[in-house]
Every structure is written in structure tokens, then in C-alpha cells.
Amino acid sequence: MTVEIPIPPRFATDIKQAQKFLQQYQHSGQLNALDAAIVTWENILKHPEFTSSEDEFRLTAWNEAGGVYLQRHWHTGRRTDLEAALKLWQQALSLSPKNKHPVLPYLLNNMGLGLRTRYRYTNYIKDLEDALALYRQAITITPQGHPLLSSLLNNLGTALRVYYNRTGQIEVLEEAISKCRQSVELIPKGHPDLPIALNSLGNGLSDRFERTGQMEDLEEAIAVYRQVIEATPQGHPDRAGYLNNLGVALSERYHRTGNKEDLEESLSLYRQSIANTPEDHPDFPSRLNNLGTGLSDRYHHTGRVEDLEESIAVCRQAVAITPKGHLDFPMVLNSLGNGLIDRFNRTGRKEDLEEAIALYRQSVDATPEGHPDLPSRLNNLSNGLRSLYNHTGKIEYLREAIQVSQQAVKATPQNHPDLPGHLANLGNGLWMRYHNTGNMVDLEEAIEVYRQAVAFTPKGHPDLSMYLANLGLGLRTRYSNTGRMEDLEKAIEIYRLVVSSTSKEHPELPARLNNLGNALSDRFNRTGQIEELEDAIAAYRQAAATVPTGHPDMPIILNSLGASLNERYNRTGVIEDLEEAITIYRQAIAATPEKHPDLPMILNNLGNGLSDRFNRTGRIEDLEEAITVYRQAIAATPASHPDLPMFLNNLGGSLWTHYKISDQINDLEEAITVYRQAVTVAPEGHPDLPMFFGNLGVSLWTRYNHTKQVKDLEKAITYYHRAIAVTPENHPNLPVFLNNLSTSLWARYHHTGHLEDLEESKKICQRAIDIFPKEHPSLPSLLNNLGAILSEQHHHSGQEEYLESGISAYKKAWELGMQSNPSEGLRAARNWMQWAFSRKEWEETLDAYQAVLGSLTARLQAQMERRDKSFSLSRVHGLSAQAAWACIQRGQTEKAVEILESGRAQLLREALERQRRDLHALVGGEYDAIYQTYRDATDQVNALYALKQRPADWGQQLTAAQQALQQATDALRDQVPGFAYFLRPLPFEAIQKQAADAPLVYLAATERGGFALVVTQTSEVSETSEVLSVPLPQLTDKSLRERVQGPDDDPALGGYLGAYLRWRNAPRDETARAAWFAALEETLTWLGETVMAPLVAALQENDLPQGALVRLVPGGLLGLLPLHAARWTVDDGPQTTDAP
């Protein structure tokens, strides 16, 4: 007994027996020994002589018997034993003289212990407060040096810890640690109570670490726990609990430092604890639970699915053996839910997610109101519901998640260490709802909640980095919506701090690096500083290298890396960056669940990469796939999502580009529609609003060019002005908007004749050129436009300065285009040539034509498919006829023939020679090595052309690359059958050989008139040349177009071709049939009068024998007409046949 009290002889033997059974239990942990002790005590208390015994004896007996009942309650969890103990102690207290009985301190201590235990079940705060009062009273009446004092101090400290967990009052925790230290100091080394007191001190220090994040507390707690184990002999029933506590502390240190040795040791300790805990022990489920949690930690560290599966199995075992009313039942349900969530994140199995949510709901339902763990269990339920929203996209799950999270925050005391985490998760839910709905109220509330989470977190706390990262995300999101630069700068500052304070082994490091990369990318997009982009790529690569395979963050990290590489390609032109970006986007999509809210963004970025590759190579398949991908992204995006304007804008851009290739007005109409939608749904102040305005202006300008509806031009000018008005002065898109406004003003000048528009157009264009980076690939476009304006001013005024400046602008545009943008260089050379032709400057016309050919060759070398080449060649349609005309005017008829054959045969050879052996047909065959060498050399030249920031030795690199390409081209010509004239024109001698059995007659039309060039193998048709030039003055471009497709101002297809197609579509329609035959008759007559009559007359004049055969080689639209059936009045002239 605790106090020497006289024992009636009748009960002496029974009491000794009860004490013996209790000692057996304390050494063995066997429940049967404890049961025997209770049976013995029950017999004593029920004995008739007990009620007549002295009060002092009965008081002591009730006290000790209550202690045995409490022991059995702790072992079995049976509430009846706890209530029995409390009843016995209450009876004893009713007999005790106030502050005088020697048993009173023990009785007060036990009653406090019982009330504290009942509080764990009921969460009734008065039980806990009464327990604290009892402990304090016991300490007050216990003299210094009393053997019970250390236990009283320890129990008071433990109860204060519980009260702290309920209230979050840090001063309560400080007092708890102080009382535990006093307890330890009073116990001599080797005393059996020392491990208990040390363990309580360790628990207090662990709590303070969780609150403050001070590593000193955790380190001391671990050291104290090690002392506890060292002081506890093997086989002691409390040793298993002490092993478990050390494991928990080591697990905490692992979470702080990422040191895997701590994690491995904690798992080993958990397993030892379980091995030394009887399966019927009340703490057995909680110790299984800790092992499950530790295995989950190792899974997160290594990604080993075996750990995850064992974690789930262990937690299921804990749930299975825990009675529903047991104190730990909500806890084990919660942990099993966590494991299932992890497996869902690994496999995407919805069944795991749904079971986890069901478990979380059970855990919450089984937790009484006011219970200190209720907020954390509500928080986990909220997380599960957010995951279900991410998986299904159903907004109702997100709404419930936010409501549950708000309940968790409300139920958490203001000073509680879990409050920052619950606030952060509420912020996450609000942030996600903002992304779904675009409601700025949610975003503002999320930022405020994130700020509160940071404010409530002590410096040095291990979770502070996470809460700061959330705040950075909120600020960056607000920047994306409002363009407030201070938000972005603060976000970058926060992200750098977070990354610098995160260990290399920390599982959140990849996500934090990704966040830093995102913010740096945003600043690059705002400032254009390439250093920001390089830093972003480095951060993304580090994130991708550290994230485990299959991790749910993998898609978004891959997407970020792909986007940054895509952006660097756009800045530098290095094709390897673009190819890597597209590959990474596809990997990210493959790793993203179908309903995941990030999927639209990743699809959009793949579309961007494919669009960029189309712009680089001209491969139309890339553009068409981009359109498909953009449509998928929009279809998967909620109507109010903040990214929807961008997705719409990108789809509009691809449709506009497709229209430029296909000339299908439906593409353009849809582009205008989606651009309008982008402008409509974008909020005021959106950082991309200038781009949306600008692109809508471009689409309207394009439709104006198609329909000549001046209202489209006026609207385009309006939107360009709006774009410029909301664009910062140093924004990289400002020159583009200025250029577009200049172009539209130039067009309005053509419509109205107002010289003010022309002059303003030139000034704005020059301003755009002045602020554009000199290495930018779009600069040739601006110079080309300036050349067009100056050519118009020269035409209007005749002033020489405009002529010289215009030619200079076109030449510079062509030269820069050859270096950085062959397509734009081609456009500049074409415009220059047409201007020279209109001025009858024949030598300049031919110089410009050589520039055209240089740009065309550079463009074609990047295109491996025939239809891509068709698109590029269509952009130089008619130029060979103009160049041939210039040669004729200079008396160079043989060169004129070479030019016509080159222009005609460029695509004809594609049709005839490559129909069966495209370059791709060489892959894998006898000439695969030659093809690969050619392809590699082409890629290298293209990469150098695309560079916008060129190294000092760029010129030497380009020269070497061009030489390698020439060698590869020569190998194709020399070694591959059928490629002798690959990418080069036939010389006149080779053309002349084709006229062995009949003259070749090349026919072409220009704006100045048409001509025929007759080639024979001898000089029989011309005394001065082997080529006869026959003028055809009525065969102009305009007359030919009107004859083939109707008047230029009629949007409907008319003329010969329109009548034919209408008849083909309705062959039984007599009206269509009559119209077709009438058009055919008119066309045949026109051909005879315009082409064949003067041609035959010229041939007859040059003594070509009557009835001789000639082969016609028509160019351009002439190839669509039946020249062989043309009608004219000359009899017995030469016979004709069309050349292939």
C-alpha cells in the first residue's frame, strides 16, 4: 500500500494477494493477473465486515482498488472500469479529512488521473480543469522530499499538456514542461519512476517543437526519449510505449531534415514497439497506426509501392482490431484514409479515393465536438474532397471541401499549432475555386488566409516554407489577373526564401522549385530579360530531376519545363529546345488524369509547341494537330476559368494561320468569333488583354482584306489603338501592335486617299522599328511594311528619297530575313521585285528575283513534305513570269526560258519525280545515310538562321553549316537516281533537248501583258536566237484571272472554273449545263483570239511548217484552260498539245 495503514486481520491475506496479482501484471502485462487482482478487490469491498471497518482503512482500500480498475481500463479501454474507479475515489474523498489524511495526496492524484482519462473520451473540459485543480491541491499539501511529489508534478505537467492541446495557450505548455523538469530533478537515477517522468518531459518538448519549430526542442526530446529507453529494462510493459514515442520524434526530425536514417530508425522502433505490445493492449492499434504512417513516409521518400501497400495493410489491421467506441478509432480510420489517398494519387483508382473520403467521414462522425483532433480530421476530409474535385471536375465537391475546411478553422483555437495548416488548406480550396470560377473574391480571400497562416507560424517552424509558398502562389495568381508587378516581385522573393530553406532531400523541394520557376518565367514574360528565363529553366530541370516517377506533381513540373524550353526557343530559335518541349508536353499529358483541372493548360501548351514548330518548318500537320489540341483544351475548361481567354486566343491564332494557308473563310470567321470571346471573358487589367485586342484587330484586318468591308478595317484600327493604350512602354509586344496599326492606317489611306493616314502610318511603323530588338525575327516584317509605305509615298510624290529609302528597307528586310526568318525574307524580296517590275526597272527586278530564290530555297530546305512545299511555292506565284518578262526586255530570252522552267518545274518536279520517292521515302532504304546527312545539315542551318542572340562566331558557324548542306545536297544529286536536279533549275541546254521532236512553247501572263517563248533544237524559227519571243499583249494577269475565276470584286467563284464546278455539282441542272457550255465557248474563243491566233501567226511568219506539232507549256492559271481546243480563224496552222 502507498501509506502504512493498519489492516484488519480479516482482509490482510486478501489485500496481499491483490497486491501480488497487480505486481505480476506490472511485470508481465498479462491481463489475467489484473483480472485476478480486481476479483480479489471486489471480494474485499463486498465483504460484510468491510462496511464496518475503520474509515481510514476503507478510504485507503477504495483508493487502491480504484487504481487497479484504472489499470484495467487502460489495458482494455472498457469505460465501465474507468467509471468504477472514479466512483471509488469519490467515495474515498467523501471520507477524507481536508488536507490532513496521509492518503489524501495519493487519492487526489488518482482522482485527477481518472478525470483526465475520462476527458479523453468525453472532451468535457470541466473534467480536465477539475483534474488540474486536484493535482495542484495535491502538490500544495505534499511536503518537499515526499516520494509522491515527483509523480504529482509529472501528472500535473501531463495534464497541462492536454489542456494546451485543447486551448493552444503557449504559457500552459511552458508550465507543463517546467513541471515535468521539476519532476525529473526530484527522481534519483535508477529509480523506476524516472522513465515515466523523462517520457513526459520528452512529450512536452515535442509539443513545443510542433508549436515553434525550434529544432533544439526536438533534439532534446529525442535525447530524453533515448534516456527513457536506456532506463527501462527489457520486458517492462511500458518499454513498448517508450520505443513508440522515440519513433514518433525521429519521424518528426525526418520530416524536418529529410534524413532517411531517422526514418529508417523510426520504422525499426515502431516494429519493436509492436512486437512488445500484446495484441489485446489498448495501445496496440495506435502503434500499428504509427507504423503505417511511417511506411507512408518512406513511400513518399522512395516511391516504393511496396511500402505504400504495407502501410495500407497495417492501417487496415489497426481499424479491424479497434472497437468502434475506442478512443483511437477515429485516428486509425483517418490514417487508413491517408494511405488510400496516397494510392489514389499513385494509380488514379477512384475506388481508393471514395473509400478514403468515406473513412474520413466516419472519423469525423466518431469524434465528439470540441475534441482537439476534430479540426485535423475535418481538414483531411476537406483534402479528400478537393482530390475528388480534381479527379471529377465536379464543383460541388470543391464547395463541400471549402465548407469543411472552414469548419476545421473555426474549431481550431487561435493559438493552436495546427491553425496555420488548416488556414493554408482553406486557402488552397479558395484558390482552386477561383481557378474554376474566376471569382476574384475567392482569390482575395485565399491570399488573406495564406497571410494569416504565415502570421500564426513561428519563425523556424518546419511548415513555414510551405505556408510562404502558398502565399507566393496566391500573389503570383493575382499578378496574372491584374498585372500588379509588386505582387510578382514579392512572390519571387518568397519563393527564393522557400527554396533556400528547403533541404535537398525534402519531398516538397520539386514543387517549390517549380513555383520559383513559374514566377521567374512570369517576370521574363514581363521584362524580356533572358537571364530570368535561364534561371527558370534551371529551376524546372532541378524539379524534374528530383520528383519521383509517378508523383502527382510530375505532370505540372514537366509542363513547366516544356513551357520554359518553348519560350527559350521563341527567344533563341534553337530547334532542339522546341523538339524537347513538345516531347515533354506529350509526357505530361500522358501522366495527367482525363478530368484533372491542369489538363487544359498542358493541352494548350502542347498546341503552342506544335504551332511554333509549324511556324518554323511549315509542316501543316503540326498546325492542324495544334487546332485539335486547342479545341480539347477549351472543351475541358469551365466557362469562367481565368485561363479561358488565353486558350481562346491561341485557338483563334491557329485558325487565322490555317485560313492564311487554305483561304477558307470559315476558318477566319471562327477565328474572329473566338478572339471576340477572349476579349469578352478577359477581366479589365488582365496582363494579356493587349494581346487579345491586338489579335482581334489582326483577324478583322484580315477579313477586310478578304471582303473589302471597310467596317472591318475601322474596327481593326480601333482595337489596335486599344491594345497600344493598355500596353506598357517597354512591353515586347508594343512594336507589334504599332506595326499592325501602321499597316491598317496604310490600308485606310488606300481606301480613302487621305495622305494623313499614309504619313501617320509611316511614323508609327518607324517608331516600331526603332524600339524593336535588332536581333528579333519579326524585325524583317516591320522593315518590309516600311518599304511598302515608302513605295506608296514614292508613287504619290515621285520624290527620290522615298525611292531610295524604300529599296533600302526591302533589302534590309530580306537580308535580316535570310538570317533569322526566311519566310519574312521571302515576302520582302517578293514585294521589292513587284515594285521594281511596276517601275520597269528590269535589272533591279532580276536582282530582287534572285533574292526571292534565295529565301525560297532557305524555306524549302526546312520542309520535307510535298504539300508544305506547295504552300511555300504558292507565295511566289507569278514572279517567274515577271522575271522572264524582265529578261525579255533585256534581250535574254534563253535566261527567260530557264526562269520559267525553274518556276514551273519547282512544284512539277515535286509532283512527277517525288510522287513515288519523296525525301521521306529514302528513310530506311539504300540511301538512308545520305538522307540523314542532308536532314541533319538542314536542321543545323535552320537552327543558326533562327538564332536571335548570336554568338561572336555565328558567321563562321553559318558558313560551315551551309557548306555541309551543300555537300549533302550534292550527294543527293550525284548518288540518288532521279535527284540530279534536286533543288536546282534545268539549264537551257537540258530544256532544249526536250524540243527534239517538237518545239516547246512557254506561255505566261503578267500585269503588263503576256508572252510566248518558243524553244526549238535548232534556229529554224529565229535567225538571231534559238528562242522566239512572241508578245501577247491582251494576256494580262487581270484578264486571265477574270476569265478563269470571275471578276476580282466578286467574292463568289465565277468565270470558266466557277461554271464548270457548278455543272459538276449538279450535272442534271439544265441551267448549270447551259452556263457551263456558254463559259466554255467564250473561253475557247478568248484563248484563240488572245493566245493562239497571235502565236500561230508568229510561228507561220518564222517558217514553221504547216501541220507541225508544238508542245505548249502554260504557266500559272493558264494551265487550267483547254489551250489545245482554242478556236481561231487561221487555217492549217501548227497543231498543239499541252506539255505535262
The predicted-structure confidence for 699-714, as pLDDT tens digits, reads as follows: 999 999 888 899 999 9
Burial degree of 996 (CB within 10 A; 0-12, 13-18, 19+): exposed
pLDDT band (50, 70, 90) for residue 890: very high
Residue 296 in this model has a pLDDT that exceeds 50: yes
Q: Which residues contact 233 (CB under 8 A, 6 or more apart)?
A: 239
Pick 999 or 978 by higher pLDDT.
999
Q: Could you write out the DSSP letters of every residue in 269-280?
A: HHHHHHHTS-TT
Give me the chain's average pLDDT, please.
Answer: 87
Q: What is the pLDDT, as a whole number, of residue 839?
A: 94
Lowest-pLDDT choice from 230-234, 286-290, 324-328, 723-727: 324-328
Residue 1008's domain spans which residues?
993-1138
Q: Is residue 1104 part of a domain?
A: yes
Residue 70 in this model has a pLDDT that exceeds 90: yes
721 closest CA partner among 704, 701, 697, 705: 697
Residue pair 382/339 in contact (Cβ under 8 Å)? The answer is no
Q: Could you write out the DSSP letters of every residue in 426-462?
A: HHHHHHHHHHHH--HHHHHHHHHHHHHHHHTSPTT-T
Cα dihedral sign, 840-844-848-849: positive
What is the H or E stretch that residue 59 is in?
helix 55-76
- 516591320: which residue's cell? 782
β-partners of residue 1137 are: 1111
Q: What is the pLDDT, as a whole number, of residue 911?
A: 37
pLDDT band (50, 70, 90) for residue 946: low
Residue 913 in this model has a pLDDT that exceeds 50: no
Residue 1130 in this model has a pLDDT that exceeds 80: no
Q: Is residue 1083 part of a domain?
A: yes
Q: Which of 46-55, 625-634, 876-885, 935-944 is predicted most confidently?
A: 625-634
Determine the residue type at 375. P
Distance set, CA 1096 to CA 976, 1112, 1132 (Å): 41, 12, 10
Q: What is the pLDDT, as a whole number, of residue 928?
A: 86
C-alpha–C-alpha distance, residues 417 and 166, integer Å: 11
Residue range 228-245, pLDDT digits in tens = 999 999 988 899 999 999
Q: Is residue 920 part of a domain?
A: no
Q: Is residue 1112 part of a domain?
A: yes
Q: What is the mean pLDDT of residues 960-983?
A: 81
C-alpha–C-alpha distance, residues 1073 and 607, integer Å: 46
Q: Is residue 791 part of a domain?
A: no
Q: Give helix 866-874 / helix 842-861 axis angle, nearest 10°.
A: 160
β-partners of residue 1110 are: 1136
233 closest CA partner among 495, 396, 27: 27
Distance set, CA 496 to CA 450, 519, 522 (Å): 17, 10, 15
Q: What is the mean pLDDT of residues 303-308?
A: 88
Q: Determine how β-strand 1000-1006 pairs with β-strand 1009-1015.
A: antiparallel
pLDDT band (50, 70, 90) for residue 1084: very high
Q: Is residue 1000 part of a domain?
A: yes
Q: Is 29 helix (H, G, I), strand (E, B) or coil?
A: coil
- 463568289: which residue's cell? 1052
Q: What is the pLDDT, as a whole number, of residue 517?
A: 94
Q: Is residue 46 part of a domain?
A: no
Q: What is the pLDDT, as a whole number, of residue 915?
A: 33
pTM over 0.75: no
Lowest-pLDDT choice from 516-530, 554-568, 842-856, 901-915: 901-915
Pick 206 or 750 by higher pLDDT.
206
Q: What is the pLDDT, as a whole number, of residue 916?
A: 33
CA 70 to chain centre: 58
Split into its structural domains, the chain has a count of 1
Q: Is residue 1084 part of a domain?
A: yes
